[in-house]
């Protein structure tokens, strides 16, 4: 692996340090940090010239690995990023010559979170209480980092994994869900977008970039939610507008106008986030994380502005790079 004098990996397998074995056979490494919705993951690419990994060294699916990236810079300055704890879920061998790609995801060691269908009913429960019930089941620490906490009158989890059910609850109310190092974090993206940006980025700081915009299913200036009154069964609607333009029309199962407002604004944000997207490639930057914001300088012309990092990927191989996928922070929040 080139550039090993500047970047190296520490890897433990079920608590045993295997860094030396990994480093000797490593051809590439990648780790992805997601702001919400998808589990963080790592992939480790190895050559197997001595047929060890395909035999006695074969990693076991379900085993736990921990990975840390160490970066040695000028004047022996050092940075380290703990990528977190992951569960091995795939081994992919190919050849000749024999190679192995180890895939691992950031999930609780208990398999049931993602793989076991479960049925349960919640009545008059806040979103935080629903999340706490699920977090406790897997000994996860719940960090509920938002003031949005509606009470759900009735919701049924019907033969679906806890991970899918909880993500659906969060999506409905515009909340983000992230699992990292045995912590279950729920937050609202709008509040995180308002935090100070961590980096001013100019053209000199990157190696490549792409920009895309979408007017067909984004750029709304309001939303209209249709729903039924749970008592009278009358057809009702809630409308939220902040300018002249197209209105997002949606129907939803809600219990009150207050809930309709939360759900409507959540759907509006989800659509309008797609209006402006930017992807940046740059030399390895261990300080950037998903959920942070950065500011693109005037070097970028009309797309200058503040952006929220949806996904951050570090790749180590023939070189060491960072890629961030971002959406532009929505003015006014919606």
Q: Could you state, in order of their start, the residue ranges of all structural domains in the chain?
A: 7-105, 112-188, 199-333
Instruction: Report the DSSP pairing between strands 293-296 and 276-283.
Output: unpaired
**pLDDT value at position 214?**
85
**Span 166-222, pLDDT tens digits:** 999 999 999 999 998 889 999 999 999 999 999 999 999 999 999 999 888 888 999
**pLDDT value at position 117?**
92
Give the residue ranges of the chain where pLDDT is below 50. Answer: 1-4
**pLDDT value at position 4?**
41
Which CATH number is 112-188's, of 3.40.50.12240, 3.40.800.20, 1.10.10.60, 3.55.50.10? 3.55.50.10
Query: Nearest-5° angle of CA 91, CA 96, CA 97?
Result: 80
- Token pair, residue 321, equals 């790079």
**End-to-end CA, the chain:** 45
| Cβ atoms of 19 and 81 closer than 8 Å | no
Q: What percent of the chain has pLDDT over 70?
A: 96
Fold of 7-105: Thrombin, subunit H (2.40.10)
**pLDDT value at position 76?**
59
CA dihedral 204, 206, 207, 208 (to 10 degrees): -120
For tokens 């700081």, name the residue: 205
**pLDDT value at position 50?**
92
pTM for the predicted model, two decimal places = 0.92
**pLDDT value at position 111?**
66
**pLDDT value at position 2?**
41
């Amino acid at each position: 692996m080139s550039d090993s004098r500047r970047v190296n990996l520490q890897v433990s397998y079920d608590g045993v340090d295997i860094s030396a074995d990994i480093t000797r056979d490593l051809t590439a490494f990648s780790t992805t940090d997601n702001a919400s919705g998808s589990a963080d993951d790592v992939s480790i690419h190895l050559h197997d010239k001595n047929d060890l990994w395909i035999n006695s060294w074969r990693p076991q699916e379900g085993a736990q690995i921990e990975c840390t990236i160490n970066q040695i810079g000028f004047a022996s300055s050092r940075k380290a990023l703990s990528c977190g704890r992951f569960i091995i879920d795939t081994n992919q061998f190919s050849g000749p010559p024999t190679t192995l790609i180890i895939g691992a995801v950031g999930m609780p060691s208990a398999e049931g979170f993602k793989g076991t269908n479960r049925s349960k009913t919640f009545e008059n429960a806040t979103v935080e209480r629903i999340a706490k019930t699920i977090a406790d089941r897997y000994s996860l620490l719940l960090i509920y980092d938002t003031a949005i906490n509606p009470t759900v009158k009735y919701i049924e989890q019907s033969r679906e994994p806890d991970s899918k059910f909880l993500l659906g609850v969060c999506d409905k109310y515009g909340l983000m869900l992230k699992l990292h190092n045995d912590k279950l974090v729920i937050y609202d993206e709008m509040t995180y977008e308002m935090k100070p940006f961590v980096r001013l980025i100019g053209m000199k700081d990157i190696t490549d970039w792409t920009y895309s915009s979408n007017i067909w299913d984004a750029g709304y200036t309001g939303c209209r939610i249709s729903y039924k009154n749970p008592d009278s069964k009358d057809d009702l609607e809630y409308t939220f507008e902040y300018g002249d333009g197209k209105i997002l029309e949606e129907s939803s199962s809600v219990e009150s106008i207050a809930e309709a407002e939360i759900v409507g604004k959540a759907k509006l944000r989800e659509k309008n986030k797609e209006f402006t997207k930017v992807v940046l490639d740059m030399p390895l930057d261990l300080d950037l994380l998903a959920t942070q914001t950065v500011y693109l300088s005037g070097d970028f012309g009309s797309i200058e502005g503040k952006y929220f990092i949806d996904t951050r990927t570090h790749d180590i191989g023939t070189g060491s790079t960072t890629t961030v996928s971002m959406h532009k922070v929505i003015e006014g929040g919606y």
